Amino acid sequence: MELTNLISRYCIKVLLFSSIAGFLNCNAQKEFGNKYLRLEKVIKLPNVNGRIDHMAVDKDHYIFYVAALGNNTVEVIDLAGGKVVHTIKDLSEPQGVEYLSFSHSIFVANGGTGVCNIFDATTFQPTASFDFKDDADDAKLFI
């Protein structure tokens, strides 16, 4: 019994020493300044109330998609023009949003219903949906 306690205390000391030695060997990241990010413009979302969640971008057409969870909408923003050009309505706690360039589609994962809706990115008409029952937000992992 005495030997077991001695070995246990020794193991704890070795683990503690190893942990401390590991932390002492860490170097903090060097500061790189603030010249890399700058505010380009502010785009107001006048009809959005409450929380927003995930965002996506169509970089070829300069379109930005914002899941406005508090509104139950996805806001479609023209980045070049700096304004909302469309609102996809009647969603249920949209959390995940993703744009797929190869199909020009918008995927919207609804946390309220567990449904993942797919919309045509030109007409904003629904093209398909998948019912994940409990957590459609996880669907973004597959996109």
97 is a domain residue: yes
What three-state secondary structure class fits 34?
Answer: coil
The number of angstroms, rounded, from the C-alpha of 70 to the middle of its chain's C-alpha atoms is 16
As a whole-number percent, the residues of the chain with pLDDT over 70 amount to 69
Segment 13-45, tens digit of pLDDT? 656 565 565 556 666 667 666 667 778 889 999
Sign of CA dihedral 107, 113, 114, 115: negative
Nearest-angstrom CA–CA distance, 74 and 52: 9
- Arithmetic mean of pLDDT, 97-125: 93
In a domain, 71, yes or no: yes
CATH number of residue 77's parent domain: 2.40.10.480
Identify the domain containing residue 91 by its residue range: 55-142
| Residue 16 belongs to some domain of the structure | no
What pTM was estimated for this model as a whole? Answer: 0.72
Number of domains in the chain: 1
Is residue 23, in this structure, part of any structural domain at all?
Answer: no
Does 127 map to a domain?
yes
Among residues 127, 89, 124, 79, the alpha carbon closest in space to that of 110 is found at 89
